[in-house]
């Protein structure tokens, strides 16, 4: 039928390909191990903190570095449950600060942290777009079916707080969306998609003039507490453990508390 295709593949080319790929792998390995930084501070303190603490901990960490010139604070910011999962999997954290006690309690139960201390609290507030299109003034107003209300899903901490507050007030909300995180709720309000959302006081403070916050008395039913603790790492030297404790003390110090208060957090 047809002429056979010339077999262009030879053992030589095959060998060449293997050699080439081996070379690539070897180079990749050597560059990976030889990357030793020279100009960095002697000690790195790794702090795991809940995403809602981003601004506060950035500032506290900068102050801490100014007081300890040979220390570099590496902040790892994520949702509290992600942080807990990472520490359970052996992530190298020295200090952990979560956005609720439930997530911290799982670390305590696993003997992975020292005794947690509460360093801040936070309550819910109604966030509305600056022009308040639905004229929301109270929590009661959110039950109006014509108001597009967005809340956190009950599965996440801010949603659990929402459920507690709304139940305590004896109300029933019919949200148009139950978001994954409080930042998603805030995003829907700042975009003007939602008429109102339930977020934390600190989120309203952080959003500046893009949203207007409306405080309500029923928010006392769910006061969110932020615990901080040192992480017990195997093979950790005492200097590092001392440094971790110093960072915890810095957060609890008047200076650290002032930073938190500026950002809307209430004192423990």
Token representation of residue 149: 């209300």
* Structural tokens at position 90: 């052996």
Q: For another protein, which is the closer residue by CB, 175 or 256? A: 175
- Report the residue from 3, 7, 66, 238 that binds another protein according to the rule CB under 8 A: 7
Residues 144-163 within binding reach of another protein (CB under 8 A)? 148, 150, 153, 155-156
E-strand ranges in the chain read 43-50, 71-78, 95-97, 117-122, 124-128, 149-152, 177-179, 196-200, 212-214, 224-230
| Residues 16-35: x where in contact with another protein by CB under 8 A, - otherwise, as a string | -xx--x--------------
- Provide the minimum distance between the beta carbon of 150 and another protein in the complex, in angstroms, as a whole number: 7
Question: Would you count residue 197 as binding another protein (CB under 8 A)?
Answer: no
Q: Answer yes or no whether residue 233 interacts with another protein by CB under 8 A.
A: no
Per rule CB under 8 A, is residue 81 in the interface with another protein?
Answer: yes
Cβ-based nearer residue to another protein, 181 or 245: 181
CA dist 56 → 3, 75, 138 (Å): 74, 11, 29
Residue 52 touching another protein (CB under 8 A): no
Closest CA relative to residue 101, chosen from 222, 204, 198:
222
Task: Note whether 180 binds another protein by CB under 8 A.
Answer: yes
CA 37 to chain centroid, in Å, comes to 28
Q: How far is the CB of 252 from another protein (least distance, A)?
A: 28
Closest approach of another protein to the CB of residue 181, in Å: 9
DSSP letter for 147, please: S
| Least distance from another protein to the Cβ atom of residue 222, Å | 17
Stretch that binds another protein, among 88-96, 137-145, 162-170, 182-190 (CB under 8 A): 182-190
Say whether residue 78 binds another protein (CB under 8 A). no
| Cβ atoms 166, 172 nearer than 8 A | yes
Of 235, 190, 185, the C-alpha closest to 209 is: 190
Do the beta carbons of residue 52 and residue 202 sit within 8 Å? yes
Measured CA to CA, the distance from residue 44 to residue 116 in angstroms comes to 22
Q: Which residue is listed with tokens 């570099």? A: 72
100 binds another protein (CB under 8 A): no
Eight-class DSSP state of 209 = G
Contact between 171 and another protein per CB under 8 A: no
Q: Does 101 bind another protein (CB under 8 A)?
A: no
Of the residues 27, 168, 192, 262, which one makes contact with another protein according to CB under 8 A = 192
Site residues (vs another protein, CB under 8 A): 1, 5-9, 13-14, 17-18, 21, 79, 81, 85, 148, 150, 153, 155-156, 175-180, 184, 187-188, 191-193
């Amino acid at each position: 039928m047809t002429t056979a295709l010339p077999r262009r593949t030879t053992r030589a080319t095959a060998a060449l390909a293997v050699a080439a790929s081996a070379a690539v792998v070897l180079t990749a390995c050597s560059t990976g191990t030889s990357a030793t930084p020279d100009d960095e501070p002697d000690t790195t303190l790794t702090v795991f903190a809940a995403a809602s603490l981003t601004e506060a901990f950035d500032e506290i960490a900068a102050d801490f570095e100014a007081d300890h010139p040979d220390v570099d604070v590496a902040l790892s910011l994520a949702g509290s449950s992600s942080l807990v999962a990472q520490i359970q999997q052996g992530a190298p954290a020295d200090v952990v600060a979560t956005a609720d006690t439930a997530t911290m309690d799982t670390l305590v139960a696993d003997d992975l942290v020292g005794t947690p201390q509460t360093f801040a609290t936070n309550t819910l507030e109604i966030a509305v777009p600056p022009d308040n299109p639905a004229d929301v003034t109270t929590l009661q107003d959110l039950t109006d079916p014509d108001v597009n209300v967005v809340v956190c899903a009950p599965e996440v901490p801010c949603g659990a707080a929402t459920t507690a507050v709304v139940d305590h007030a004896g109300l029933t909300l019919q949200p148009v969306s139950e978001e994954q995180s409080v930042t998603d709720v805030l995003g829907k309000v700042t975009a003007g998609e939602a008429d109102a959302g339930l977020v934390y006081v600190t989120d309203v403070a952080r959003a500046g003039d893009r949203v207007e916050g409306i405080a309500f008395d029923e928010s006392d039913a769910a006061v969110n507490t932020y615990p901080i603790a040192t992480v017990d790492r195997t093979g950790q030297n005492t200097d590092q453990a001392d440094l971790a404790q110093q960072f915890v003390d810095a957060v609890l110090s008047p200076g650290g508390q002032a930073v938190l208060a500026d950002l809307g957090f209430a004192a423990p």
